[in-house]
Amino acid sequence: MAVPPDVVKRAEELRAQIVHHNTRYYELDSPEISDADYDQLVRSLQHLEAEYPELAEASPLQRVGGAAAAAFSPVTHRVPMMSLDNAMSGEELHAWSERVERGLAGAGAAFVCELKIDGLAISLRYERGELVQAATRGDGKVGEDVTANVSTIAVIPARLTGPSVPEVLEVRGEVYMSLASFEALNARVAAGTEIEDRKPRKELFVNPRNAAAGSLRQKDSRITARRELSFWSYQLGEVVGGPQFSRHSETLEFIGSLGFPVNPEMRVVVGLDEAEAFCRHWQEHRHDLGYDIDGAVVKVDDLAQRELLGFTAKAPRWAIAYKFPPEERNTVLRDIQVSIGRTGRATPFAVLEPVFVGGSTVAMATLHNEDQVRLKDVRPGDTVVVRKAGDVIPEVVGPVLGLRPKDSEPWVFPSTCPCPIGSTLVRAEGEADTRCVEPSCPFQRDQRIIYFASRGAMDIEGLGERTVQQLSDAGLVADPGDLFGITVEQLLDLEGFARVSAEKLVASIDASRSRPLPRLLTALGIKHLGPAAAEALAQAFGTLDAIMAASEADLATTEGVGEVIAASIHRWFSDADHRAIIEKLRSSGVDFGRVEVSRLPQVLTGRAVVVTGTLERYSRDEAEAAIKARGGKSPGSVSAKTFALVVGEAPSAGKVTKAQEVGIPVLDEAGFIHLLEHGELP
C-alpha cells in the first residue's frame, strides 16, 4: 500500500527537525529544544515508521548522535559506541523486559541497574597501560579526538599499573560536571572572570550537561582543566590481552580495580520488579546527588545472554534507558512583570506560554532580581529554558539565543511600583534588591497579612492569598491585627463564602490566638528574623513585652541573634505603626508569653543530629522536634560538625555518602531511640 502524501510530508518534516536538532545538540553544544521535546519528535517519527516501514530507509533514527566536529581530529571507533533505546514509563520498561524474555527463549535474567548520568559519552583507549586516546561518541562510528582535554580530568588515570592491565583496554563512560563545579563556573561568568576564546564569557551556562560538553571541546585545554570536569565509567569497549568475564558486573569490578571511578549506586538485581523499584527510587531521589541524572539504565548482566539478544541498527537489545519526567522544557516568554512582597521587595517574574514541566503546568517563573535578568539577558518574546525540580519554585534558566526575534530589546526594570499608588521603586547602593518604599502600598499590606497567617507563622487555615485580597478590598483588614475582629456575617458578604466555610475560618483565626511566642515573633515578618532566632529569643526573654523592652545590646547577646538581627528587631518595634499593630493583637487576646519549655533531659545540648529517610515511629517533623526538645539541633545537611546521621527507609544517598566520607556515625531507628534516651551513641 502506498504511503499517503500527507504522511510522507510529515515524515520529511520530522526528519529535517531531528537532523537539525542533532547538529545543535551533539556538534554545536547549543540545543534549541529540551530533551523532552526532542524525544517527542523522535516518538512521532517512530510511530510513522512503524506503520509505514518503507519510510525508515533514510531515517535519522538509524544513526547515533551527530557528526564529529571539524575542529578536532576524527577517531574511528573499533567497537561502535551505540546509543540506548528509551522507556518513558513502567509499561514501556515491562514491554522491553518481555522482548528480552522472548529473545532468551523464556530464560530469566539478572539485571545491572545504573544511574543515567546527564553528560557526554567518552571512550578512553589505553595501550600497555598508557592513555593514548580519548574520543567523543560522535555518530557512533566516528568521534572527535579530545585527548588533551580529557587528560586534564583529575579522576581519569593517565597510566594503569598492575599485573592485570591488558595490552589494549578501552573504557567507556560519561564526562559530566558536578553541581558544585557548575555553580562555581557560573559564578565566575557572572563576575566576568571566566575567559573563553581569549575574552570574558558573557552568557551563563544553562545546565551542567551543556557546560560539560562545551568545556570538553575547548581548543585550550587549560580552560577545560579550570572547569573541574568529572567522569563515571560504565562499560568496556575493545580489550586485547585482558581477563575473561561472564557478567557485566564483573567488568565494572575490574574497571574499578584499575582506578577508574565506578558509580557507587550501581546495583545487580533479579527480575524486573527490582529493576523498576531502582528506577522509581532514583526518580524520587535524583536531587540527593551532587550531579544531574536524567534517568536510570537497566542492562542484562549475563554477557552470553547479551550475545543472544544482539543489536538493532543503533542500540543493544539487552539494555534500556528509563527516562525520568523532564525538569526542563522550552517555552515562550510572553512578558516580564514585577511582584511586590511584604517588605516592599520588587521581584521580577516571567509570564510564560504554559508548559508542562516537573509534574505540573507552569505559566509563571521567578527571575529573582534585576541583576539576574540582566545577567541572563532574557527578554519578552524569547524562547527560554524553564526548570522545575520537584517542589522547587519554577525558574527561567536562560534564553535560546538562536531563536531570539531580530527586533528584540533588553528588558528594563520599571521605576514605579505596579500598585495603585504607583510609588517610586528604589534600589539602595550596594543592595541587589529593588524595593517599594511606600509603607501604605496595598501589595505590601496584603503580603504581610498572608505571611502572618502562613503555616510557619500563625498557621491560620483557610486564610490564603485570594481571601486576604477579598478582605482588604472590602476594607475589613489593613494589618494583621484586624484579623481577630472579623465576623461570620462579614465573611458571608464575600464571594465564595457559605456559613460553614465562614464559621470554619473564624474558628481558625480564634485558635491562632494561643500560638507559641516563637510563631508570633516569626509572623510579625521582622527583617532577618527567622524561626530559629525567634525560638532563641522566646526562650531567653519569655514574653513579647520583654523582647520589646530589651535594648539592642541585650537582644544581640542571645545565641543565634547577633547585631544585625538585633538592630532589625529594635528598629521594627520602635516604629509607631508596628506598635499599633501589637496593641491590636494584645486587645484581641493574642498570647504574648506562651513559651513551650521542654521538661525532657537535655541530653543532646550542642549536638547536631541529621535525619534522612522515613522512620516508623516518627514523622520527619516529629523526629526533629524530639531532637530539639532534648537540646539538640537538626540541620538539613551533613557536615563535619554533625554528631550523628539517622537513616530510615529510602534515605538521601548524598547525605549517607557525606557521612561516610567525614566519619559521621550512622544510626538506624533503634539507635536513634537510644540516642534520644541516653544522649550517647549505642
- How many Å apart are CA 334 and CA 370, to the nearest integer? 18
Q: At 443, which amino acid appears?
A: F
- How many Å apart are CA 201 and CA 203, to the nearest integer? 6
The gap between the terminal CA atoms of the chain, to the nearest Å, is: 75
484 Cβ contact list (under 8 Å, min separation 6): 509, 510, 513, 584, 585, 588, 589, 590
* Residue 116 is among the residues annotated as catalytic for this protein: yes
Estimate to the nearest angstrom the gap between the alpha carbon of 259 and the chain centroid.
30
C-beta separation of 160 from 242 below 8 A = no
C-beta separation of 76 from 147 below 8 A = no
- How many Å apart are CA 401 and CA 507, to the nearest integer? 54
- How many Å apart are CA 303 and CA 242, to the nearest integer? 16
C-beta separation of 494 from 474 below 8 A = yes
Q: Over the Cα atoms of the chain, what is R_g?
A: 30
Cell 525520568: give the residue. 324
DSSP annotation of 126: E
Cell 551533613: give the residue. 638
Residue count of the chain: 682
How distant, in Å, are the alpha carbons of 149, 224, 249, 478 from that of 230?
12, 11, 22, 55
How distant, in Å, are the alpha carbons of 97, 122, 236, 574, 596 from that of 111?
10, 23, 17, 67, 53
Estimate to the nearest angstrom the gap between the alpha carbon of 67 and the chain centroid.
31
Element (H, E) at 12: helix 5-22
**Number of helices followed by number of strands (H, E) in the chain:** 24, 23
Half-sphere exposure of 520 (CA within 13 A, CB side): 27
How distant, in Å, are the alpha carbons of 166, 457, 459, 471 from that of 508?
73, 13, 9, 16
Q: Which residue of the set 116, 376, 388, 658 is catalytic?
A: 116
C-beta separation of 100 from 109 below 8 A = yes
How distant, in Å, are the alpha carbons of 450, 484, 497, 584 from that of 511?
17, 10, 20, 17
In three-state secondary structure terms, 44 is helix
Catalytic residues: 116
